[in-house]
Each structure stands twice: as structure tokens, then as C-alpha cells.
Amino acid sequence: MKYILIQEHELLKNEQDSRFDNLSLVQWDRPTDTARWGYYSSFIIGAEWIDKKEALVVTPKKGMENIDFLTMFMTCYSSDLSAETLATIYDIDSKAQAIYAPALKNIISPMIILHFLGIVSRIKTLKKGYVHYSENLKKVKGHIHILKNERKNISEKRYDKVFCNYDEYTVDIPENRLIKKALLFSKQIINTTIEHHKTGYKVKLILSKTLALFENVSDHVQIREVIRIKDHKLFKEYYEATRLAKLILQRYDYSISKINKEDNLVTPFTLNMSLLYEHYVYGLLNEAYGKKISYQFKGKTGYPDFLYRSNSFKAILDTKYIPKYENHSLDLNVIRQLSGYSRDVPILQHLGYKDIDEGSPVPNVPCIIIYPKENNVIKNPFSKNKLEDLCTNSVRKLARFYKICVPLPVTDTHT
């Protein structure tokens, strides 16, 4: 299997080639005024087929190779974001042939598993439905199946049995069986890939609580039943849980014995690192400040990532997956973007500014850029700190513009 390996923001090719035009991992671009035109990777990592013979693999950018994705996923999925929002972080082509990508093999499976557990843990009460049974019983239940009862019992002189058809209103419905089956697969995967990670205990605790909810559900589900199970878009958690359960079972060809098989093949997928970082930061902000944080509020000029509102401090925050901001100035387009938010009447009203309209004096709202770098210390920088106390790194020649670094967690192997 032939594949091309590049990192985020690298040039793949500087000549136009129709094979690359429809890929998600690269686009024809000119990143800077001094750069040459070509097919560049952006902030999306993953693996996808270029054609039937060759694949493209994009890994995290230089200096970000040791990201602890498990910690990031756990932080994302512990927030209050909707299932649909979380699903936008990544995309998986489960029908495509696997790609040889050793650099990505420890990303895709844990990502799906943690997303699945995060969604299923939000189910508080199991759905019920009528399930049809045909069984040999000791007493009549429902209706006697005359022909089968004759053949199985009367002709065999088993007069203590009666073959019946009946319906039962139960939690043991196909959707719940599918989820239960995927939970057991998840348990096996966790035991082999996640157990010794620093988040392993927390993951196993979530799994244990989730399995307890499905205690009275069988894990007996056949492939043909999985295919027939319909997605219930009216029940958001169930819709997303069954979708992810199918992905998990398909990933291992419905065979739990294949989980322990070590290989370097990954299902083609794309992972938006900018969105992952944004969701990671939201998880940290939500943990520290709760309802003081608003996510993606709709303004006239756009959707700022976060708005912070307390009695003593108000601010507009935006994440930028741009590590260079540690030592470099902000790009002009970023400054203009946040400046627009700080003049946006609906946003200012949401922040609690009174008597604001198009002709009002504009309040001097703090604008905060949150950017990443790698860091071995895994802690929430917002925890036990007031947001205003973290605004110490002001941007030169800009009034009330600040930068706050929220490091990316890295694996223990990082040196």
C-alpha cells in the first residue's frame, strides 16, 4: 500500500493535479503573500484515499507531534455541547478500505469510543418497545402457535410445554441491544488501549455506570439486525449512540476477538484540529466558570467562540489554533474579527451592557485570544483563577486586547 505522509500546513505539491482537487486534507492555496501556490494541508489531520492505489496521511504540525488526544477528547465530551456539535470535530468513511497509517493508529479508535461513551452516558432512561417472542413455555402466554406446538410438544409427548407467540413491552429492544453490544466492545478496547492512560480510571468509571443502565438488556444482536435498525433523529442521544455503535462494530467486523489484533491500518478519517482545540478549551472554561460562559452566541458580525459574563467582568474570547502567537504578534484579520465582535450590538446586549444601540457610546470590552502550545503539565489554567486575573499578557498598541495560552496536553513519552 502506497501513501504520502505530510504534516499540517505543509506543501504537498506546487503543480495542479486533478487527483488532489476533491480531497479534504489539502487544498489549492497560497498561505502567505510570499508563498507559492500549491496543494497545502491546513489544520485537518487524518487519512484519505487519493485514488485506488495511493493514500494521503496528514499528522499534527511540527512541534505538536505528541498531543495527548485522549485527554483532549475526555475534556470535550464532558462538556454540555450537543451530540451534533461534537460530531463536527471529525468525519469517518467507514465504507472505505483501511489505510496504512502507523502515525494515526492510536487516534481514531479512542476518539470514537470516548465520543460513544459521552453520548450514551447522557441517556437517563432507556427506551422501551414491543418485542415479538416465539418460545416454548411452561404456561400459555399470548397465543399458542398451533403447528409448532403440535410438532415440538404434542408429537413428542411433552405435555408440560406449550409453544407460544407473544409481544412484550421491554427495554430489550434492538436499539438497546446494539448499544449494549458496542459497550462491551468498548470495554475490551479500553482494557487494551486506554486502561493505563492517566484518564483510564475516569473512562472505566463512566463505562461501568453506563453498563449498569443496560443491565436488563441482552447483547445478542445479529449483523442483519444492525443494518435494519433505523436512526431516530427525534431522540438525539439515541440517534448519535446507535450511529457510533454501528461504527464501533463495523470497525472490528463485528468480532470482539479482532480488538486485540495489533496493526497499523486505520479507517479513513479527518479530524479538525482547530475545532478540537476550540471544544477542548470550552470544556476547560465550562468546568471553571459554568454558566458564565456562552458558546457560539449569534451576533450581527459572526459567532465569537465564547462570551464571559460575571458581575465584575465581561469579555469576548476566541480560540486560534496558532502556536506562533506565543512569540509573535496577532494577525490583522484576527484583530479585526474581535474588534467587530466588540462593536456588535446583540453581543454587547448579551454581555449585559444596558441601553446599547447603534448610536450609543461603545463600551471598552476586553478581547481575549486563546492559543496553544505543547505542555507536559495537565491542568486547567482557568480553574481557581478569575478570568480577569489571567489577562496579564496584553497585546502591544491595542487597548484591552490580551493573549492567554492554554497548552495542549502531551503524552507521557514526550521529552
Instruction: Read off the pLDDT band of 414 (50, 70, 90).
Output: very low
The per-residue pLDDT for 263 is 65
Write down which residue in 105, 138, 170 finishes a domain. 170
Question: Do 282 and 395 lie in a common domain?
Answer: yes
Whole domain around residue 148: which residue ranges?
129-170
pLDDT at 261 over 60: no
Residue ending a domain, among 117, 143, 170, is 170
What is the predicted pLDDT for the residue at 259? 57
pLDDT at 34: 85
**Percentage of the chain lying above the pLDDT 90 cut:** 49
Is 323's pLDDT higher than 60? Answer: yes
Q: What is the pTM for the complete model shown?
A: 0.85
Alpha-carbon gap, residue 42 to 19, rounded angstroms: 18
399 located within any domain:
yes
> Does 415 have pLDDT greater than 50?
no
- Burial class for 84, CB neighbours closer than 10 Å (0-12, 13-18, 19+): exposed
The confidence band for 374, taking pLDDT boundaries of 50, 70 and 90, is confident
Q: Of the ranges 42-46, 155-159, 398-402, which one carries the lowest mean pLDDT score?
A: 155-159
Joined together, the cell numbers standing for residue 20 give: 488532489
Task: Provide the terminal-to-terminal Cα distance of the chain, rounded to the nearest Å.
Answer: 32
**Regarding predicted confidence, which is higher, 315 or 31?**
315
> What backbone phi and psi angles, to 5 degrees, belong to 118?
-60, -40
Higher pLDDT residue, 290 or 197?
Answer: 290
Residue 229 has a pLDDT of 66
Of 58, 72, 79, 78, nearest to 9 by C-alpha is: 58
- Predicted confidence at residue 253, as pLDDT, reads 65
The total number of structural domains that make up the chain = 2
Determine the pLDDT at residue 179: 93
Task: For residue 92, give the nearest of 228, 246, 236 by alpha carbon.
Answer: 246
In a domain, 139, yes or no: yes
Lowest mean pLDDT among 120-124, 156-160, 189-193, 324-328: 189-193
**57 within a domain of the structure (yes/no):** no
Structure confidence by residue, pLDDT tens digits, 357-370: 766 677 889 999 99
Q: How confident is the model at residue 235 (pLDDT cuts 50, 70, 90)?
A: low
What's the average model confidence in pLDDT over 199-227? 85
Is residue 113 pLDDT above 50, yes or no?
Answer: yes
CA–chain centroid gap for 61, Å, is: 20
Sign of CA dihedral 20, 21, 22, 28: positive
Q: What is the mean pLDDT of the chain?
A: 87
Where is the domain boundary, 117, 150, 170?
170
Within 13 Å of residue 297, how many CA atoms lie on the same side as its CB? 22
The C-alpha cell 470514537 sits at 112
Q: In the predicted model, is pLDDT for residue 305 greater than 50?
A: yes
**In the prediction, which pLDDT does 208 show?**
93
Domain assignment present for 261 = no
Domain contains 96: no
Where would I find the H helices in 330-381? 332-341, 345-350
| pLDDT at residue 387 in the model | 96
Q: How confident is the model at residue 302 (pLDDT cuts 50, 70, 90)?
A: very high
Lowest mean pLDDT among 49-53, 231-235, 267-271: 231-235
- Residues 165 and 279 both lie in one domain: no
In a domain, 164, yes or no: yes
Q: Based on the fold, state whether residues 284 and 404 are members of the same structural domain.
A: yes
Residue tagged 505538536 (cell numbers): 64
| Residue 76: pLDDT over 60 | yes
Q: Is residue 371 in some structural domain? A: yes
Distance CA 226, CA 171 (A): 17
Residues 405 and 281 occupy one common structural domain: yes
Mean pLDDT confidence for 189-203: 81
Predicted confidence (pLDDT) at residue 157 exceeds the cutoff of 70: yes
For residue 105, what pLDDT band results from cuts at 50, 70 and 90?
Answer: confident
Residue 20 falls inside a structural domain? no
> Which carries the bigger pLDDT value, residue 335 or residue 265?
335
